[in-house]
Amino acid sequence: MINARRYLPPLSWLSAFEAVARLGSVTRAAEELDLTQGAVSRQIAKLEARLGQPLFLRERQRLTLTPAGATYARDLRGALATIAGATLSLASNPRGGLLNLAILPAFGTYWLAPRLPRFMAANPGVTVALATRTHPFDFAAEEFHAAIHFGRRDWPGAGVLKLMEEDNVALAAPALLNGRCIETPADVATLPRLQVESRKGAWRRWFTAHGLDPDDRVTAQFDQFATMIEAARQGLGAALVPRFLVEAELAAGTLRALPQSVDGRFGAYYLVWPEAGADYPPLVALRDWLAAEVAGATPPAAD
């Protein structure tokens, strides 16, 4: 078995080379690293000697990366970023760790965020960093430990935990329904319709589930559920919305559910994570907590 440590140069050499490659200047690299220019130059020279080839072309006191140096700098930059991230995670929370979680905007705002205080109380050593992503991405290219995903169990190279089905409800504002006879799903087809970009086929599936075949025409399209819900509240059109997003509006009567005879479950929410990081303790804590949360259907924490 090959001992990889034999090929690992000192970190000080690698840091000096990466800084000069990134900044294009020994002087600027020395300032960043709080070293003398001579010290930086010596560390790069030692690294080149270890590698047995030049990393820079030296012409008239200017340094230009060789093709091999450019490739090495690119690969090294990712490795140094990983080391820095691990160090930050440990320093920021020595009892737990940093959990980078990608979330969907509506699910994160209306379902996850109200429940997060319970997770934080149960796991005081974990720091959660939330970032919005609306489309699947490559875990190898983004520094996330997990993501909340809507759709099917189809995230390549990832572990999957199903959280919940998305139960959609067709609804409209009282002002839009004023004087209209809306007694059956077929009557809903006579209303102007609103649509979210990420659910372009939702109305088609809803009508098909009711045995209807209306056209695909919509009055307006939005990139966020929150904007579409407000437009529906103002009477712009009927909307097909996950029920958990509008429970307060339905209870208050500012939006009214429209007639439907079948459920509107056309997809589900999943927690997904890169298989290589499945045992990361903060992720394990989140995964176990979410599994218990959805199994118990626990309501959000009170304000």
Q: How far apart are CA 17 and CA 67, in angstroms?
A: 14
Lowest mean pLDDT among 37-46, 138-147, 231-240, 282-291: 138-147
**302 occurs within a structural domain:** no
Domain total for the chain? Answer: 3
Question: Are both 151 and 272 inside the same structural domain?
Answer: yes
Provide the b/e sequence for 75-108 (b: ≥16 CB within 10 Å): ebeeeeeeeeeeeebeeebeebbbbbbbbbebbb
Nearest to 269 by CA among 138, 105, 94: 105
Write out the residue range of the structural domain in which residue 67 sits: 4-92
Phi-psi region of 159 (alpha: psi -120 to 50; beta: other; left: phi over 0): beta
Cα distances (angstroms) measured from residue 51 to each of 69, 83, 96: 11, 22, 38
Q: How far apart are CA 190 and CA 44, in angstroms?
A: 73
| pLDDT for position 2 | 45
Higher pLDDT, 137 or 44: 44
Q: Give the predicted TM-score (pTM) of the model.
A: 0.63
Residue 173: pLDDT over 70: yes
Average pLDDT over residues 201-223: 88
Question: Are both 156 and 271 inside the same structural domain?
Answer: yes
pLDDT band at 219 (very low <50, low <70, confident <90, very high): very high
**301 occurs within a structural domain:** no
**158 occurs within a structural domain:** yes
Question: Are both 283 and 158 inside the same structural domain?
Answer: yes
User: What is the length of the chain?
Assistant: 303
pLDDT band at 4 (very low <50, low <70, confident <90, very high): low
Higher pLDDT, 44 or 140: 44
Q: What is the CATH number of the domain that holds 254?
A: 3.40.190.10
If residue 277 lies in a helix (H) or strand (E), which one and from where to where? none
| pLDDT for position 170 | 94
Q: What is the CATH number of the domain that holds 78?
A: 1.10.10.10
Lowest mean pLDDT among 83-92, 136-145, 178-187: 83-92
**303 occurs within a structural domain:** no
Question: Are both 208 and 224 inside the same structural domain?
Answer: yes
Question: Are both 187 and 71 inside the same structural domain?
Answer: no
What DSSP string runs through 173-187?
A: -HHHHTT----SHHH
Question: Are both 224 and 273 inside the same structural domain?
Answer: no
Q: How far apart are CA 81 and CA 86, in angstroms?
A: 9
The last residue of a domain, from among 61, 77, 92: 92
